[in-house]
Chain A
C-alpha cells in the first residue's frame, strides 16, 4: 500500500519558471490538501479539495493552482516561480476533512 506519493523529492527552479508538483494517493480518500512548511511557521495550507472536481483556497494560495480531475491525483502548479516559494511542500489526504491526515514524503523546492 503506497499511501501518498509525491514527486519529485527535490527541485531547483529559476525565477519565472513554472512546474507541477505531483501527488497521488491510493486510499480512495475524499479530501486532499497541499501544505508548505517553512521554519518557525509550521504547516500552512495552500489549497485543498473535498472531492474530484472540487477545489478551494487555503491560507496561502497566491502563486499556486490546483485541479482534481480524479480522486487519486491532486497536482500543484507553480505558475511563475518566485524565491518566496522556496519551501518544503507536503501533500496530504484524509478520508474526510476532519479526520487524520496521511502525508507524503515532501518535495523540497528551491527557487533561485
Chain B
C-alpha cells in the first residue's frame, strides 16, 4: 500500500526566507506525486505534479518540487516566502500504472509567514 508522510504539521518562516515543506512517500511502483494548497475556508488547489520526465517540477506561485527516487522524497520549496503563501499544504501520491490505486494524502503542513 502507498503512503505519504509530511514532516512537520506546522512550519513558520519569515517573509522573504526560503520555504521548505517535506514530503516522503512509499510506493512499490513508480509514483505520481502532487502538492495541493488550501487557503482558509477554501477547497484544495493543485500547486504542481510529477508524473514522468523531468524530476524538478515547477508549479504556480513560484513553488517547485524535486522528485528524488533514492530518497523517496518530493519536498516543496519556494526561494522567497510571501505573506500570501500562508496556507495549508498537502502532499499526495498515486501509482503511475493504471490500476485501482487512489490518491493518498498526507496529513498536511500549515505554513505561517512571519512579517
Q: Which residues of A are interface residues toward B (Cβ below 8 A)?
A: 4, 33, 35, 40-43, 45, 48, 58, 90, 92, 94, 96-106
- Cβ contact within 8 Å between A45 and B107: no
| Interface of A (DSSP majority class) | strand
Q: Given the complex, which residues of A lie within 8 Å of B44, measured CB to CB? A: 43, 90, 92, 101, 103
Nearest chain B CB to A32 CB, angstrom units = 11
Closest to A96 in B: B98
Q: Given the complex, which residues of B lie within 8 Å of A90, measured CB to CB? A: 43-44
List the 8 closest pairs (A to B, CB-CB), nearest first.
A103-B43, A42-B107, A98-B94, A103-B44, A43-B105, A105-B43, A42-B105, A42-B108
Tally of A-B residue pairs with Cβ under 8 A? 58
- Cβ contact within 8 Å between A104 and B9: no
| Residue of A33, A45, A58, A101 with highest tally of chain B CB at under 10 A | A101
Nearest chain B CB to A58 CB, angstrom units = 8
- Cβ contact within 8 Å between B105 and A98: no
Nearest chain B CB to A48 CB, angstrom units = 6
Closest to B103 in A: A101
Give chain B interface residues in 22-71, CB to chain A under 8 Å. Answer: 32, 34, 36, 41-46, 49
